Every structure is written in C-alpha cells, then in structure tokens.
Amino acid sequence: MKYMNIRSIREDNDMTQQQMAKMLNISQNTYSQYETGQIEWTASTLIKIADYFDVSIDYLLDRTKAKK
C-alpha cells in the first residue's frame, strides 16, 4: 500500500530516495519498493522515519493530518 505522507515528507525535506535509504540503512531499490507500495513497510522502518522527522506513525500512514 502506498502512503502519500511518507513521500511528501521526504520531498518537503528535499531528500532523495537514495538519502532516505542511506538513513534507513537499506538499498535505494528497497526504499523505492516501499514507497511505491510493492512491499509493505516494516514497523522498525516506520519508527525510524517517524523519529527522524519527528512525526507520528499515524501521520506517516495517512491516518491523520496532524504531524504529531
């Protein structure tokens, strides 16, 4: 499943998929597959992204418009 807030927060912070992948310690190809919904996000990856951008996981998963 694709979650638009994850891509949006990456782009809003002027980060490339490669930079995100490096921060998450995964390959760019794996990150791309996550972002396009080809593979499901893992809990640990979502936690890393939420902590990095200081947002809630619910925000990342498009369950709320509030970032915190």
Model confidence pLDDT, tens digit, residues 26-56? 999 999 999 999 999 999 999 999 999 999 9
b vs e for 39-63, b when ≥16 Cβ sit within 10 Å of the residue's Cβ? eebeeebbebbbeebebeeebbeee
What's the distance, CA 6 to chain centroid?
4
Model-level pTM?
0.93
Dihedral angle of Cα 2, 6, 10, 12, to the nearest 10 degrees: 110
Q: Half-sphere exposure (CA, 13 Å, Cβ side) for 22?
A: 5
Spatial separation of the C-alpha atoms in residues 6 and 32, rounded to whole Å: 11
